[in-house]
Amino acid sequence: MLNIQNLRIGTRLGLSFAILLALLVAMAAVGIQELAKVAKDTDTIAHDRLIKVSLAQTIENEVNRQSRAIRTALIADDKKVVAAELEKIKDSAPRITDAVARLQATVDTAEGQAALTRLVQAQKVFEDHEHKLIGLIKANRIERGQAYLVEEMLKPQTDYILSVEALAETEKKEIETFAVDAAENAALGQNIMLTIALTAVVIALVVALLTTRSITQPLQQLQNLLSEVEKTSDFSKRMAQVGKDEVALTAIAFNQMLDAQQRAIREVNQVVSAMAQGDFDTRISTDLRGDLAHMKQAVNDSSESVKVTMAALNEVMQSLHDGHFGVQIQAQVHGQFKVTLDHAAKATAALQAMMGEVGQVMSRVSQGDLTSRVQAAGRGDLEQLKININQSLDTLARTLREINTNTQLLASQATQTNQAVSQIAAGADTQTTSIGQVATALRMSSDSIADVSSNTESASYQSRESVALVRSGKQKMLQMAEVVNNIAANSQKINKISEVIESIANRTNLLSLNAAIEAARAGEQGKGFAVVADEVGKLAVSSAESTKEIAILVKQATVEAQRAVQTVSGVNEDMDKIEAGAGKTDGMLQRIAAAVEEQSSALQEIDANVSNLNHIAGNNAAAADELTATALELEKIADNNRREVEKFHF
């Protein structure tokens, strides 16, 4: 069985493209074959079946044209029109004959030939009736022709047209049949081409997948191996050899490279591990070539130089550990190792000079002498050590001086604090007494304010009662004014009635006078009537005088009523002023009550604050006693610090 891994990459790609080309050729051949079938069916439809349908349509159109010409000839009065219409019928007949002849020559199906036979028979019947009708028209027998058209010719004409339509329908069915065949051939071609295309795609995908995997998988394995070696530095990894292609040959070369690198790294690792453990005698002994051989020589030389240098440094460190700073380095090395040993020797000498002078300065400090300083020259950390020691001594001396000064100041301040605290204690006692007196006065003020608040509320209530009484009196005065106005109005009415009565009395007097005159004229018979007229006249005079007196009294009553109204108005205005004044008085009393209430609340807060002050004053007195004791203790501590600081010289 053929193993794809044994084929070269170019051979694999060539086989893949050959398979795809074969599938494309097959798909093209099937497409051409099916398209040819579709083209044949389309040609039959276009050049045969559609032409037959067109011929049938031509026959139907000509028959309709002849029918219209016959009807026109039957109804036309002008002989020229009739002749023209008959000429149209004559011209149409050859076109029908030609169409029928072409159909007879081209119709090849049994159903089509049967329909064509029925058409020819219907044509003969129609033409016979048409010739008879034309004869009637030419003989000018119009009425007979019209009756013949309706009774004899309409049915043959209808049968003729139906036979033409039946033939056309037969050909249309043939067209539909060819169209279905063409569609089926096209669909079949599409399905076959789609199947081949899908097969080609599947085969292409499979071939591409197999080819790609046969190439990319080994390359991916190689890449993963390289990444793993790069990340883990594990040179023991190897790539499996599969097949005989270019990738397999690359895997062989890569494995050989890893073998050489692994041997070299193993040897270097052994040397470095030994150096890390303090063994500087291990060397690389394996046979290496090229750059690896140069690396072998460099590692061995480096190991030897490290061995010599470490021996010299070990000797120096041991001497420093033993406290000897004068050791000399005698090792013979080169390059950076020599520089390292020279630096170690210089560092030892500088350390010896610096540590000697530091020891002397510290010895003087231990004796209380803070004036000595380190003067030896140094570099780097030694110079910084020198600066730090000198700065520390300066800071220590300055601190001791400040401590001495502060101690003396502290002693003085402690004495002053003691005196001040004594004064504070005395003041606190006085303050406590004063606060007690203030609290007593505040409680008395609070009681007085409570009485004032109660009296103010009572006065406010009385003021509101006065306002209510004033408003009630005002309302009654308004009612009285209304009554007086009504009296004045009634007086006016009485005055008018009096005037009417006076007018009646005057007329009655006049009538009595007339009656007396008439009685005098009557003579003896009118004497009795004259007496009555005289009494009536007297009564009228008396009524007039009484009416005048009533009018005078009414006028006086009206004047008095107006004066009463004015008086009521004045009293009403006074009542308004009394009401306004009482309202203001009530407002002021309410504000006084609110102010008294606020003062009462404020006095309660002041009383609470005075109680707090009394408590604080007691605490201040206790704190003053504690401060006195603390000041005495500070004075003792300051004296002890001063004696200790005076032991140093600075």
Which domain-ending residue is among 310, 339, 367? 367
Q: What SS3 class is residue 369?
A: strand
Structure tokens at 282: 């291990």
- Do 39 and 165 fall within a single domain? yes
Q: What's the pLDDT score for residue 227?
A: 80
Q: How far apart are CA 215 and CA 209, in angstroms?
A: 10
pLDDT per position as a tens digit, 425-484: 666 566 667 666 656 765 676 666 666 566 666 756 666 676 676 667 667 666 766 766
Q: In the structure, what pLDDT confidence band is assigned to residue 291 with cuts at 50, 70 and 90? A: confident
Smallest Cα–Cα separation from 599: which of 439, 442, 435? Answer: 442
Q: Are 589 and 460 in contact (CB under 8 A)?
A: yes
Q: Is the pLDDT of residue 329 over 80?
A: no
Q: In percent, how much of the chain has pLDDT > 70?
A: 54
Q: What's the pLDDT score for residue 172?
A: 81
Burial pattern 35-50, b for ≥16 Cβ within 10 A else e, equals eebbeebeebbeebbe
Positive/negative CA dihedral, 621, 625, 626, 631: positive
Question: For residue 15, how many other CB atoms are within 10 A of its CB?
Answer: 14
Q: Residue 440: inside a domain, yes or no? A: yes
Structure tokens at 493: 């009415």
Q: How far apart are CA 565 and CA 479, in angstroms?
A: 11
- Do 198 and 282 fall within a single domain? no
Q: Are 242 and 213 in contact (CB under 8 A)?
A: no
CATH number of the domain residue 162 falls in: 1.20.120.1730
Q: In the structure, what pLDDT confidence band is assigned to residue 110 with cuts at 50, 70 and 90? A: confident
Q: In the structure, what pLDDT confidence band is assigned to residue 124 with cuts at 50, 70 and 90? A: very high
Q: In the structure, what pLDDT confidence band is assigned to residue 12 with cuts at 50, 70 and 90? A: low
- Do 173 and 263 fall within a single domain? no
Identity of the highest mean pLDDT range in 34-43, 101-110, 263-272: 101-110
Which domain-ending residue is among 349, 367, 385? 367
Q: Residue 296: inside a domain, yes or no? A: yes
Q: Is the pLDDT of residue 120 over 70?
A: yes
Tally of structural domains, the chain: 3
Question: For residue 179, how many other CB atoms are within 10 A of its CB?
Answer: 14
Q: Are 264 and 295 in contact (CB under 8 A)?
A: yes
CB within 8 Å of 266: residues ≥ 6 apart:
none
What dihedral angle (degrees, nearest 10) is formed by the CA atoms of 104, 106, 108, 113?
Answer: -30
pLDDT per position as a tens digit, 488-520: 676 677 667 767 776 776 777 666 667 667 666
- The arithmetic mean of pLDDT across residues 97-107, rounded, is 86
- Do 338 and 481 fall within a single domain? no
CATH number of the domain residue 323 falls in: 1.20.120
Please calculate the CA angle 542-546-547 and round it to the nearest 5 degrees: 115
Q: Residue 431: inside a domain, yes or no? A: no
- Do 254 and 219 fall within a single domain? no
Q: How far apart are CA 285 and CA 87, in angstroms?
A: 130
- Do 153 and 298 fall within a single domain? no
Question: For residue 234, how many other CB atoms are within 10 A of its CB?
Answer: 11
End-to-end C-alpha distance for the chain, whole angstroms: 106
CA atoms within 13 A on the CB side of 465: 6
Q: How far apart are CA 619 and CA 223, in angstroms?
A: 87
Q: Are 67 and 157 in contact (CB under 8 A)?
A: yes
- Do 185 and 253 fall within a single domain? no
Q: Residue 419: inside a domain, yes or no? A: no
Q: How far apart are CA 76 and CA 82, in angstroms?
A: 6
How far out from the chain centre does Cα 344 lie?
70
User: Exposure of 116 by Cβ count < 10 A (0-12 exposed, 13-18 middle, 19+ buried)?
Assistant: buried
- Do 251 and 208 fall within a single domain? no
Give the domain extent around 293: 246-367
Q: How far apart are CA 572 and CA 473, in angstroms?
A: 9
Q: Residue 167: inside a domain, yes or no? A: yes
- Do 362 and 485 fall within a single domain? no
Q: Is the pLDDT of residue 344 over 70?
A: no
- Do 178 and 262 fall within a single domain? no
Q: Residue 386: inside a domain, yes or no? A: no
Q: What's the pLDDT score for residue 494?
A: 67
pTM, two decimal places: 0.31
User: Exposure of 119 by Cβ count < 10 A (0-12 exposed, 13-18 middle, 19+ buried)?
Assistant: buried
Smallest Cα–Cα separation from 649: which of 397, 408, 409? Answer: 397
Q: Are 39 and 181 in contact (CB under 8 A)?
A: no
- Do 170 and 26 fall within a single domain? yes
- Distances in Å between the Cα of 277 and the Cα atoms of 31, 272, 644 are 82, 9, 56
Q: What SS3 class is residue 465?
A: helix
Q: What is the gyration radius of the CA atoms in the chain, in angstroms?
A: 76
Question: For residue 166, how many other CB atoms are within 10 A of its CB?
Answer: 17
Which domain-ending residue is among 367, 395, 415? 367
For tokens 């209304």, the residue is 482
Structure tokens at 211: 């080819």
Helix (H) or strand (E) holding 326: none
Q: What's the pLDDT score for residue 1?
A: 47
Q: How far apart are CA 203 and CA 96, in angstroms?
A: 63
Q: What's the pLDDT score for residue 115?
A: 86
Q: What's the pLDDT score for residue 131?
A: 92
User: Exposure of 312 by Cβ count < 10 A (0-12 exposed, 13-18 middle, 19+ buried)?
Assistant: buried
Q: Residue 412: inside a domain, yes or no? A: no
More confident residue, 216 or 136: 136
- Do 312 and 442 fall within a single domain? no
Q: Residue 381: inside a domain, yes or no? A: no
